[in-house]
Amino acid sequence: MHIELKAGRYYTLVLERCRLYLQLLRGGWKAMIAVYARVSTEEQAKHGFGIAAQIRACQALAQEAQTLVFKDEGVSGETLNRPALEALREQIEQGFVTTVICLDPDRLSRKLLHQLLLTEEWERLGGLISPL
């Protein structure tokens, strides 16, 4: 089963959070794997790895595990202020996500410093990042 959180869809995030809390209360909660995908331009999506292709490749690595999908479309990797990335960071901070799979580290950020900051933040919180 795959659950997709779309950037800018606050209500989806709230509903998903409520579902996770209910699972936790019922004792059926287990940490989830997140898939993060990003393209910044339409041209990149056409001639590179588009969002759908990135998600398929990452979910193949997750195999049958339940995943949360976070995707930023048309958003530059030069900044950390991206709706889906911010939602992902929040889910990691709350302990709902322990593993992040992304196609390539530059999908997280085009800046090496940002990649290192995210990796350090997630490792400090007990998370793991797994680029393909």
Helices (H) and strands (E) counted in the chain, each on its own, are 6, 5
Flag whether pLDDT at 132 surpasses 50.
yes
| 130 classed as catalytic | no
Active-site residue (options: 40, 76, 109, 130): 40
Residue 59, SS3?
helix
- pLDDT at residue 10, rounded to an integer: 44
The domain limits of the chain are 2-131
Handedness of CA 8, 11, 12, 13 (dihedral sign): positive
- pLDDT at residue 27, rounded to an integer: 56
- pLDDT at residue 131, rounded to an integer: 60
Mean pLDDT of the chain: 79
- Residue range 31-42: mean pLDDT, rounded: 86
- The model's pTM is 0.74
> 70-93 pLDDT, tens per residue?
999 988 899 999 999 999 999 998
State the pLDDT confidence band at 50, using cuts at 50, 70 and 90: confident
Q: Domain 2-131, what architecture?
A: 3-Layer(aba) Sandwich (3.40)
Residue 72, SS3?
strand
Compute the half-sphere exposure of residue 30: CA atoms within 13 Å on the CB side of its CA.
5
> 84-120 pLDDT, tens per residue?
999 999 999 888 888 899 988 889 898 999 999 998 9
Q: State the Cα–Cα distance between residues 7 and 26, nearest whole angstrom.
A: 28
- Residue range 45-55: mean pLDDT, rounded: 79
- 83-93 and 112-124 helices cross at what angle (nearest 10)? 30
